[in-house]
Amino acid sequence: MGFKMFINKWLVSDSLNSPARKDWKGGFCLDLCDEPAEIQISDLYKDLQRLPVEHPFAILFSGKNSLAQKVNDSYIENIISLFFQPSYFLANDRPVVFLSDKAAWHTGFIEKLSEKCRNQGLSVLLLQTKNGKSIDRPGDQFAYEVTSADISYDAIIENWLSQYLEDKNPREIHFLFGAGEPGLTEILDEIRKKEMELHNTEHYKFANLAYKKQKLIEKYKKELDVKVSAEKSTQLYLSMQKKQTADNVEWYHHEYEILPTWYKRLGHVIKVLMGRRTFRSLFSDKAKKYKD
């Protein structure tokens, strides 16, 4: 799930216990560069449970080690289990996965991951990472790997807006910061200043408004889907109940209604004798019929 914002900043580290996380306010992105055995997977799941849902979590395949060797069900299922964690970042119910240039080449792994996700009813959203110099190039959306404060916010927002106006339904904007990046504190300070300026620009205000509108529409669509599904189920259950009622009436007809009247009347007298019905009710509809 994870809380979504128009601009999301991610701290990238190969460990959840990175010291840089202490004062970090944004999302946490786990760089899965290690071999599976090197990650204490059981501890990871337990630690992720303690992350507040408002602090989103995601993964990055940086491709430092070969992903080709990881095309096995067990490794991929370990990844999918991460998507089920409540703090995992989902864009319109799709788990977001960051891919570095190198990792994106491992098509076998990516295809297998996508297929296994589909089998779990999930559609994964893969976002390739680009370095900061690519940001002024309009085109498909990706995540930005930030290594300096040299970010062109204007170009990024304009790019987002143009996609929005072209009905391309652009997603959130993501910035990835390496936890071990030299001078990270200074870079972040610089970026914060730029953001303050950005927030006062008209095109940012418009883009942010458009983004919020987009999220609201998605929320309503989801609520509508739930209601449509509930309505469909109700109709199905209603038809099943109707059938059950019809079956019961038929059963009653064959088991009881078909009997001769004198036999049914005798049955009522037997009920009185057994104490299941009041004597007075045999002669008056107003009398109490059944004994408690």
Partner 1 sequence: MFALFIHIYNQDSWEKIFKERLKEIQEFSPLILINLCLAHPGNAELISCIRNDFPEAFIITTTNKGRDIGGKLALTDFFMKAELQSDHIIFLHDKQSHHWFAGELWRQKLFEIIEPGKIKAILETYRKHPKTGIIGASEFIRDEHDKKTNEFKTINSIKIKKLISTYDLQLTDHHFVAGAMFWIKSSIIKNFFSIHSALSCREMLEEGNFTDQYEGSYTHSWERIFCFLANDQGYTVNGI
Q: Which residues bind partner 1 (CB under 8 A)?
A: 1, 3, 41-42, 45-46, 49, 53-54, 73-74, 77-78, 80-81, 84-86, 90, 93, 116, 119-122, 219, 222-223, 225-226, 229, 232-234, 236-237, 240-241, 244
C-alpha distances (whole Å) from 80 to each of 10, 15, 45, 59, 171 are 20, 18, 12, 11, 22
Q: Closer CB to partner 1, residue 199 or residue 222?
A: 222
Q: Closer CB to partner 1, residue 80 or residue 184?
A: 80
To partner 1, the closest distance from the beta carbon of 119 in angstroms equals 4
To partner 1, the closest distance from the beta carbon of 137 in angstroms equals 34
Cβ–Cβ < 8 Å for 6, 173: yes
To partner 1, the closest distance from the beta carbon of 9 in angstroms equals 20
Phi/psi of residue 129, each to 5°? -95, 145
To partner 1, the closest distance from the beta carbon of 107 in angstroms equals 22
To partner 1, the closest distance from the beta carbon of 4 in angstroms equals 10
Q: Closer CB to partner 1, residue 111 or residue 186?
A: 111
Given the structure tokens 């202490």, which residue do they identify?
Answer: 22
Q: Closer CB to partner 1, residue 238 or residue 266?
A: 238
To partner 1, the closest distance from the beta carbon of 15 in angstroms equals 18
Q: Closer CB to partner 1, residue 120 or residue 185?
A: 120
Sequence-separated (6 or more) residues with CB below 8 Å from residue 242: none
Sequence-separated (6 or more) residues with CB below 8 Å from residue 122: 80, 83, 94, 95
Residue type, 38: E
- Mapped onto helix, strand or coil, the DSSP state of residue 181 is coil
Sequence-separated (6 or more) residues with CB below 8 Å from residue 52: 87
Q: Closer CB to partner 1, residue 217 or residue 269?
A: 217
- Please, what is the Cα angle at 136 between 133 and 139, to 5 degrees? 115
Neighbours of 96 (CB within 10 A): 27
